[in-house]
Chains A and B, each alone.
Chain A
Amino acid sequence: MSKSFRQSQATLHTWSGLLVGWVLFIVFVSGTTAYWREALNRWAQPELPRVEDPARVVRGSQAFLAKKAPDAKTWFITAPSDRSAAGSVFWVPAKGGGRGHGRRDTSATIDAEGQPVTARATRGGDFFYRFHFDLFYMPVIWARWIVSICAMFMLVAILSGIVTHKKIFRDFFTFRGGKGQRSWLDGHNAVAVLGLPFHLMITYTGLVTLMAMLMPWAVVANYAKPGAFFDLTFPQAPPAERADRPAPLVDIASLWRDGARRLGTPVDFIAVTNPGDAAARVTMSASNRAMLSSYTPSITYDGVTGKVIWASPPSGGAQVTAGAMIGLHAGRFGDYPMRWLYFLCGIGGSLMVASGLVLWTVKRREKLPDPERPHFGFHLVERLNVGVVGGYPLAIAGFLWANRLLPVGLADRANAEVNTMFALWGAVLLFAFVRKPVRAWAELLGLTGALLVALPVFDMIATPKGLPATIAAGDWVLAAADLTLLALGLCFGWAANRVRRHRPYVRRARDAERVAMTV
């Protein structure tokens, strides 16, 4: 009975993991990269000076908006932290003003000096954050359903995997290298068990982030009006009618400081409605850098007198629970050591998915009637593994290079970076289907390693933010970004070398050894 149960779980584990494994790999790698979203944003725009005094950027934003859009309906100011690349502002013009204008004409980047600035257009680290659950080239709702379904498979794969490999806890510290399938299994088990709390947490909380989409019934059944749930989840001060009497706006930077003090966390996001009018309102939203829940409170001030007129009510238990789970998933609260732990766990998860996919082929290769001419299913899985597990990291390296090499004045440059990445990836997928897999693995891993190692070198030569400069300036975020790329590149190079020198493991040798030992 128990054996057959374990057997059924093994089958479930194999297929639930394989079918969605490639998507999971992409989601895991993107999510892991997104833990350095802000650092990558900074890395992607090396021409921007480092933000050392965020208040200066907030003052600069107000000055810029007062000049550029004095009669706008609303201003939105994203206040930077000392981790961000820059501040940004966005405004909604007064009625009619916005027609025929793109978002570009109503937004601006404010640099560390408080001046509007044009930097290279890029999506930087934000791309990986979005790609992690919105994918690309498709409506986001489809993408979120695809990612969610894959995440559900993942949850099934993790739980059935615990049953299948029940020895994993006993053989916790064991790795038997150089033994073909056994080594792959040990490696897969090791990354899975070592990060098991993370893997379970991240998969479950990942589903929680999209729960309102996955299970809308509770909301539909309890809230008659469609907007009622939203209003309850994201409470706002009652809207103020424009008074049409001009009045000077308060100093936003001092309100920003006051908001941080009252909320007990830094303020990331400032909304100003009716600026320059007697009915101006300034709303400060707390950052989730300093709290676990991702539903952060906000506070609204009168924009003329600077008095507090509204504050969000305390969240209910359910909301704090959901918010904490989402916060736990995104890890935005983390200081740098915590962020590194998240990042390393993410790498462990990516390796778990990748090794599981490879294990599927390793396990079956020995049983193939003719290894030179495998059946279609094996062929497909083997080539997709090369194209996705070998291809996506290479494509990311290509994205980073596109960020450095595409001309600054290129039209639609931010999307061009992304398109470059996918074009490269497409080429790799084609390559994977024509090249012998062992060769393709070594070549792709090697090329990825070379591209990653070359990036910090390029930064040293061609940008003012090379390693010596950033280390000398004590700018450890950028220095660590370059050093991490370097370290990852070396790891890829090491892996390529291992694959290149790989000789297929011959099972007979071990059997002979065992016979010799028993005799």
Chain B
Amino acid sequence: MITLCLIVAVAAFACFALATDPHHRKRIGGPCPKPRVKALRAAAWGLLGIGFVLAMLAWGPVFGAIGWAGAIMAGAAATFLFLNFGPAWKIGPH
């Protein structure tokens, strides 16, 4: 459950990152189109919400919120490290 919560947090921040022009250009190609920005951001918030539920299930109602805060920090950090220091994977055709 905790692992799942962390994975979801990483995915959420990956969506946030891809919704920005520099990272969209680097990973998919071209600036991120407006509708896609909206979709990615919505997905990211949705994933953060799912992460919260998972954290509650994993740690219980008292510690769940703390665990969730920790998990999203870890997710953001992992995304940051991957995007800047990780391999230059590309998703798009470009």
Contacts and interface: CB of A to CB of B under 8 A. Distances in A.
A337 B2 CA distance: 8
Contact of B77 (A194, A337, A342): A194
B83 A341 contact: no
A393 interface: no
A197 B80 contact: no
B23 A341 contact: no
Interface in A287-341: 291-292, 328, 333-335, 337-338, 341
B80 A328 contact: no
A389 B42 CA distance: 41
Interface string B74-94: 101101100111000000000
Contacts of A190: 80
Given A173-B23, A173-B79, A177-B84, A338 B73 contact: no
A218 to B, nearest CB: 27
Given A338-B63, A338-B66, A341-B67, A173 B80 contact: yes
A463 interface: no
Contacts of A118: none
Given A328-B66, A338-B66, A175 B84 contact: yes
B59 interface: yes
Interface in A169-212: 172-175, 177, 190, 194-195, 197-198
Contacts of B84: 173-175, 177
Interface residues of A, number: 23
Contact of A195 (B2, B59, B73, B79): B73
A172 B16 contact: yes
A344 B13 CA distance: 18
A173 B15 CA distance: 11
Contact of B70 (A173, A291, A342): A342
Most buried by A among B66, B71, B83: B66
A440 to B, nearest CB: 26
Contacts of A345: 70, 73
Contact of B83 (A173, A328, A344): A173
Nearest to A341: B70
Interface string A341-378: 11011001000000000000000000000000000000
20 contacts: A172-B20, A172-B80, A173-B79, A173-B84, A175-B80, A177-B84, A190-B80, A194-B73, A194-B76, A194-B77, A195-B77, A198-B70, A198-B73, A333-B63, A334-B63, A338-B63, A338-B67, A342-B70, A344-B74, A348-B73
Interface of A: 172-175, 177, 190, 194-195, 197-198, 291-292, 328, 333-335, 337-338, 341-342, 344-345, 348
Interface of B: 2, 13, 16-17, 20, 22-23, 59, 62-63, 66-67, 69-71, 73-74, 76-77, 79-80, 83-85
Which 8 A-B residue pairs are closest in the complex by CB-CB distance?
A: A341-B70, A175-B84, A173-B17, A194-B77, A337-B2, A194-B76, A197-B69, A292-B62
